[in-house]
């Protein structure tokens, strides 16, 4: 079991470009969550998805950010027209449906906007 896989590990984008972050959940996990950690801050919830459905996107910025978890393939967090303030570590977590044992996080994608 390879765990939660995120790629790329590091991503550098110029202001105005698009960033696409990928997350493959652990085998057997059907729930995916995205969190963002700004420098020197705690992790903040962004979005919760199940296959083909967005369940809770209350933590997503209203503009430029979107997420999907298609029937086949990884979950994608997409940031359009990136700005310097988007520079952060983006962590994906997955869980089983009961969530009794917490969540397993991927190693994260560190986005740097230059």
Interface residues toward another protein, by CB under 8 A? 31, 33, 35, 41-45, 48, 55-56, 58-59, 89, 91, 93, 99, 101-108, 110
Contact 32, 88 (CB under 8 A): no
Q: Which is nearer to another protein, 1 or 58 (CB)?
A: 58
Nearer to another protein, 59 or 74 (CB): 59
Task: State the CB neighbour count (10 A cutoff) for residue 93.
Answer: 22
Tell me whether residue 2 or residue 101 sits nearer to another protein (CB atom). Answer: 101
Which CB atom, from 18 or from 56, has the smaller least distance to another protein? 56
3-state SS track over 62-106: CCCEEEECCCCCCEEEEECCCCHHHCEEEEEEEECCCCCCCCEEC
Please report how close the Cβ of residue 16 comes to another protein at its closest, in angstroms. Answer: 27
Backbone angles phi, psi at 50, to 5 degrees: -115, 170
CB of 38 to another protein, least distance (A): 11
């Amino acid at each position: 079991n390879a765990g939660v896989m995120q790629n790329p590990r590091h991503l550098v984008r110029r202001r105005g470009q698009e960033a696409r972050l990928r997350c493959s959940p652990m085998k057997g996990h059907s729930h995916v969550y995205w969190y963002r950690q700004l420098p020197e801050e705690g992790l903040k919830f962004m979005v919760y998805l199940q296959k083909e459905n967005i369940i809770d996107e209350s933590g997503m910025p209203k503009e430029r950010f979107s997420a999907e978890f298609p029937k086949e393939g990884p979950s994608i967090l997409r940031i359009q027209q990136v700005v310097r303030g988007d520079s952060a570590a983006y962590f994906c977590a997955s869980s089983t449906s009961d969530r009794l044992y917490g969540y397993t996080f991927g190693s994260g994608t560190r986005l740097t906007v230059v």
